[in-house]
Structure 1
Amino acid sequence: MPFDFALSAMAARSDTAPARWRKPFLIWLDGADAGWTIPVILLGFVGIWMVYLQVAYLSGDLHPDVLETWSLGRTFAWGSSKHPPLMGWVARAWTSVFPLSDWSFHLMAMTNSAAALWAVDLISCRFVRGDKRIVVLLLLMLLPTYQFQAQRFNANAVLLAVWPLATYCFLRSFETRRWPWAAAAGASAALAMLGKYYSVFLLGSFAFSALCHPQRRLYFTSLAPWVSIAVGLIVLLPHLHWLATTGAMPFSYAIAAHAGRTFDSSLSEALFFILGLAANMAIPAATWVMIAGYRLRRFLHDARSMSSGLRLLFLIAIGTIVFPVLTGIVLGTDVTPLWAVQGLFLFVILVVGGARYPIERFYSVNLTVMVIGIAVIATVIAAPI
């Protein structure tokens, strides 16, 4: 506790009389709600990790997953023997504009990550302002998800942008109950399914959150959920027809590759699934503990007083973890943490958005420097190795 108070005192002094080197960062943070700070950080993110990938792959080939994605994108189809078609569509659209080269596919992967972070900001800016918007993105940039895992553009990576976009549309549909947002929610949810069938857990979490939310009566007595279902089915109809006429090959592949586990095996898989996600969140979680300090004792109080929108996100977040675990145990299948990392943004928004206290500029600047420092070290030292 004395350390926390000492750090808080240091933060107060820094905010009152910041060091000269901090002032450019303060100017940058001031633009969070003006609309230019977010594009700057996303462009910088793409730029520095593009340099990393160019150096790291200088004497190597593209990852096999990327080559598989490209092969699927050579022809427009409504499915393949292993995966739904979205990743192939993205590759096809990208290579119709950009050349067939390693740097082009690296840029596609990092642009997808930037689009994912932009979609997350669409959600977070409904609950936080100023520095907290930036802190959400910076904490996510501490995950390996948006750089190291995203570079392998595959059926998992394509969900990085689709899941937050679908969540945003569902949130707006639940709040407004207007048919345009309901249609957008249905279309984006269908798009998530066209990315990977694992997205059924996101759709199930939407239904679970709507049923458990205190405003469920208003939502289900409106046209919104039924418009979403109708539009989602319309978007999925060509793919469903493809599945029916080709023998549902992706399901056969999934059963052969992931089913048939014993109860003990599936139980241990579920445990490692949870531990793996916790390990992914370790650095952002430790960083947030340093920022919050002694104010962590208010966590439960703040959680009980969270807004209606945050409560909806909380229920969605719980569903995206619990449903895969239960399904794996009941059906005897394996579950891999890598399949669920695109949903970790929900927990970051909940923690930062649910905190009822401001974040001192001292911490915001330090976190910015930390994220930049990690990226520079990775580019200068790790990439050549």
Structure 2
Amino acid sequence: MTGETSSNLIERCKNILLKPKEEWARIDPEPATVSGLMTGWVAPLAAIGPVAGLIGGLAFGYSALGVTYRPSITTAVVGAVIGYALALLCAWLLSKIIDALAPNFGGQKNPVQAMKVAAYSGTAAYLAGIFQIIPQLAILGILGLYSLYLLYLGLPRLMKAPEDKAMGYTVVTVIVAIVLFIVVGVVTTALTGALAPRAMTYGAAAGAAGGSVELPGVGKVDLGKLEEASAKMEAAVERAKTATPVDRQALAALLPASTGGWTRTAVESSSASAGGMGGSQAEARYEANGQSVRLKVADLASAGAFAAMASAFKVETSREDDNGYEKSGMIDGRYTIEKWNKDGRGSYGVLLADRFLIEAEGNAPDIGALKSLVGSIDLGKLQGMAG
């Protein structure tokens, strides 16, 4: 492989996400070169996050717990360029790690096959970078965790590792790769002045299938759930192949005219599709006692399958300071995201059936008011709309 046309790149992205087992089988025997994979696959996809972050930072700034930071054009551009260069470096170094570890787990050293694994398994993480274009949606970057599942499927196959050693090979590769990315993150911090990555902890010795890591912008991830997560993802991917977005008007009909003292003053809906994947959403503005909140219902459709990684890996986040708090994790079997600022503004969102996102955001008396707004949506009816 010396490059990808635009249509081929889109088709492969779609296939590696929705039909990963079949696509890895096609990728395995394909002729390729390390340079071709870097220029034809990694280079265009790795640019998505830095470019989206550049646009999002300049247009919206970065907000956390009531504090907003808007970088200068020079800072944003320099940060994007450095981030892009380091993303390319990470892909190349990860391939070297994969190749070097192969003999320790009964695999075969092969730099081209290792580069295939590094390049294609990173697809989900690269594409998830698009959410940086709207910083408030950056939490959806968690969908990039799907790359761990892609790595789990492709690594032992392409590197010819025996089945009994495949899990150990995968987990050790993930741990070493995360150490690499954190080191790169520290370098990025030194060069751009951005926030440093959080510390990483893991309770597994080399070769053991377990432990946890703390990923910057994601939170605590339980690697011991890798095998369990793969089974969940396999089922989710099968559902995603036939997922059709719910009609936007049907979603809008779920938004009540009034609830808990809040009165709906506006409603809008939209839908979009690209490369065989799409989604739809509806949102309404509610007002009460001079305060305003937006309640949104979104159908992630096919992409929702990737969100299953949050629950499969037991991802948890928690942060608190003088301005407020942020936290996320599993509550009553659903992935929940909660933020509250002491100035009376916050958001509360729930991921239903690894597909539907219901979120209330705005000025409210307390976080309980936002939870009540989310609770006003008939979750049973919404889940029944899944096709």
Per the normalisation by structure 2, the TM-score is: 0.28
Which structure shows the higher strand fraction? 2
Higher helix share goes to which structure?
1
Please report the TM-score for the alignment, with normalisation by the length of structure 1.
0.28
